[in-house]
A = this chain, B = another copy of it.
Amino acid sequence: MSAHRPYVPPSFPPAELTLTSLEGVRAAGVRAGIKASGNPDVGLLAFDEPVAIAGVFTQNKLAAAPVTLCRAHLEKTGGRARAIVVNSGNANACTGERGDADARAMCERVATALGCPVEEVLVCSTGVIGVLLPMDKVLAGIDRAIADLSSDLEAGRAFLAAIQTTDAFPKEACGRDAGGAFAGVCKGAGMIHPDMATMLAFVGTDLAVSVDELRAAMPKIAASSFNAVHVDTHPSTNDTFLLFATGKKAAEGDFRPAATRVSRRLAWLIARDGEGATKVTTIEVRGASSEAAARAVADRVASSALVRAALFGNDPNWGRLVSQVGNAKEVGSVAGLRCTIQGITVFEDGQPAPFDRGAVSHAMAAEDVHVLLELKEGGGRATLMTSDLTYRYVEVNAEYTT
């Protein structure tokens, strides 16, 4: 392996459907000038009628102004929205009262233009923390986005482009099920963590699903998708996952499997990005004393910089994997611990198992790597997706604001 192999971002074929493929959904994405790069940075989603919507947000105590406002608006409306306005390049986090006022002003601008109550507009921001928004540019950008609103595929893609920050590639997913269509887009690469991340995700369906049903489904959908991604140990101030249903079609079955599949694919794409990642590694823990214990073990393994660097190097250094199991306070006994990489057992009954190092290394060079850690303490299971730690990660994160 060369010391500094160039990073080549992966490319995926565009999804067949995007958010504007859902009936009654219009979108826009414009260059407002928030980003010094001149890339698109204000996006808008508008619904012809109020949609049912539910959200999951960051648990960070320094939740950004837009997160606080989103929560308040969802509470006021009981889960109804006419629009979602997003800016990238600036997180409007740690910005005090002025930040709160700016988030409100963004919603007000949209509400005035669309003729709806301000609480039916949700707002998301992502980017640098602690810098005040250039509101003249933001509001002018919103005005242009309103003028650009369209239901065609390009408008949906323009929205997606406008929510990116350090993403190496656009992230979208779709599906059809239960008589309806499902589409989702997201952004996220750094600051990914099980408690959500600098991650914005918008998933919708044209089915008629009540707010209560959406809310009831959210925890499970989030747990197996966005909250199962672990790129580093740094949950962000802005993480937001919104799930909406436009109600244009009667559901002919359960909406949850397709919503989960779309969300899981989006989460996989975030892990696949991970600011320079070359693969997605799924860490599966079985046989822990409880689900929480399994989660804690998976968390320790997935968050280890040493493990993640070894994954980048296709290095079957299972010692780093099993020693992280030994470090987890939630583990009582490591007797009988087994470690399997890509289906090949490398450690068994507390001892190294004989294996072909070259074969495992070769198998690790895949886009999907599976690591299975089996304890013998009970029935607790957990699965996390993590990124490998690369030169590109350091490059991206050492030079973000300077």
Which residues in A have some Cβ–Cβ distance to B below 8 Å?
A: 1, 3-4, 59-63, 91, 93-96, 98, 128-132, 190-191, 195, 232-237, 300, 303-307, 309-310, 312-320, 322-327, 331, 333-334, 347, 349-352, 357, 361, 389-391, 393-402
In the bound complex, CA of A61 to CA of B330 (Å)? 11
Q: Are B395 and A96 in contact (CB under 8 A)?
A: no
Q: Are B94 and A323 in contact (CB under 8 A)?
A: yes
Contacting residue for A314 out of B306, B389, B394, B402, CB 8 A: B402
Closest to A390 in B: B394
Closest to A193 in B: B327
Contacting residue for A398 out of B60, B304, B310, CB 8 A: B310
Q: Are B398 and A322 in contact (CB under 8 A)?
A: no
New contact pairs (18) apart from A62-B334, A130-B319, CB-CB < 8 Å: A1-B398, A60-B327, A61-B334, A62-B326, A93-B323, A94-B323, A94-B350, A96-B351, A96-B352, A129-B320, A195-B327, A233-B304, A234-B305, A235-B327, A237-B319, A309-B398, A310-B401, A389-B397
Closest to A398 in B: B313
Could you tell me the dominant secondary structure of chain A's interface residues? Answer: loop
Q: Are A232 and B306 in contact (CB under 8 A)?
A: yes
Q: Are B397 and A309 in contact (CB under 8 A)?
A: yes
Given contacts A234-B324, A237-B326, A394-B393, contact A131 B315 (CB under 8 A): no
Can you list 19 A-B pairs, Cβ within 8 angstroms, ordered by A? Answer: A1-B398, A3-B4, A59-B327, A60-B326, A96-B350, A98-B351, A129-B320, A129-B322, A130-B318, A130-B352, A195-B327, A233-B300, A303-B303, A305-B397, A309-B393, A310-B400, A310-B401, A313-B399, A389-B398
In the bound complex, CA of A260 to CA of B320 (Å)? 30
Residues of B within 8 A of A333 (CB): 61
Residues of B within 8 A of A1 (CB): 398-399, 402
Q: Are B237 and A323 in contact (CB under 8 A)?
A: yes
Residues of B within 8 A of A320 (CB): 129, 234
How near does chain B come to A201, taking the closest CB pair, in angstroms? Answer: 19
Q: Are B306 and A190 in contact (CB under 8 A)?
A: yes
Contacting residue for A391 out of B4, B98, B326, B347, CB 8 A: B4
